[in-house]
Structure 1
């Protein structure tokens, strides 16, 4: 059997931290995954790039595109990220930075983190939940769930764009039955327009 690509292995480690894990670990891992593999998607849009140019651009200390924010902006300029993808990635980065720089934070409900999660536009996407129902907005979700579902979908989009998303899906199928069941709204509304995704295909 063919081994899964590295990005799929990385994604599996994040999936195991979703829903009920340590918030700091999840925030840092999720941001790291998005930042690391966003670079791979950017590089695919730069046909003339070589190893030397890549280092000059993305070197973590001296690179001209060394920060997460700069990578996000470049990804949007190259039409790797949609507007929703850019705004969501910036919010994930801010959540990560909050946990990384304040050791007293231990919850997504802390005011310093909650202000970013409350701006996340997960409510624009209709998401199938483990019990077969649909969540259509953030109103009945905890902040941990909003962050976890958004991160899950964002990372899945990246994995599929890089190839090998089937590995991520098979891993997710093993994890999702453990998630907390949610009540099914009745009737289930039908969206009039498709929600904007995180990435351009």
Structure 2
């Protein structure tokens, strides 16, 4: 991998630490991009959206938005996907299933991001993780006969389902808050 590409990715990673204000319905754009990408591009794009959305979800739960902003700065304690996943589960903000899927999504994304040679969803390291995703059975049916597509679809479906679960929790919270006013 070219050093300029690595430097650009590091700059992007630092800039991405603080969640960008995305709406859940922008997931459709991610899905469109996902289908036009290589396996590496697809994995990084989908996980990037999930990582960002998890950050937004956690920020929305904060009672002091100014302090929360500091947590998500590039060197803050919630600057990484791993830290966000761990905190979200430790405090009961996500289910055990979401925690397990998000951890697998992070590991798959990291594999693609840190392997300089061509890699796919079909290689053993990635397929062993993909098959553990909770949405693998659904993907298996959707891409019957194409095992690599099954792994890829399981990843996409799990990314989308985790975001949808966070979105639904936020909607529920908003509805409950509006009832108390």
Larger relative contact order, structure 1 or 2 (CA cutoff 8 Å, min sep 6): 1
Long gaps (5+) in structure 2: 1-20, 172-181
Normalization by structure 2: what TM-score?
0.68
1:106-117 aligned at under 5 Å gives the runs: 106-117=119-130
Aligned in 2, Cα 1:56/1:139: closer, same or farther, shift over 3 Å? farther
In the alignment, which residue of structure 1 is the partner of 2:159?
Answer: 151
**Structure with the higher fraction of residues in helix conformation:** 2
Alpha-carbon displacement from aligned partner over 1:134-188 (angstroms, at most 9, x marks no partner): 949x99862122222222322333444556xxxxxxxxxxxxxxxxxxxxxxxxx
Secondary structure in structure 2 of the residue aligned to 1:16: helix
Give the C-alpha shift of residue 92 in structure 1: 0.5
Aligned in 2, Cα 1:85/1:139: closer, same or farther, shift over 3 Å? farther
Match of 1:11 among 27, 34, 45: 27
* Cα RMSD for the two superposed structures: 2.9
Indicate yes or no: 2:56 matched with 1:56: no
In the alignment, which residue of structure 2 is the partner of 1:36?
Answer: 52
Normalization by structure 1: what TM-score?
0.62
In the alignment, which residue of structure 1 is the partner of 2:5?
Answer: none
Q: Does the CA-based 8 Å contact 1:45-1:78 persist in structure 2?
A: no
Give the C-alpha shift of residue 16 in structure 1: 0.3
Give the C-alpha shift of residue 6 in structure 1: 3.3
1:66-105 aligned at under 5 Å gives the runs: 66-105=79-118
Aligned in 2, Cα 1:23/1:158: closer, same or farther, shift over 3 Å? farther
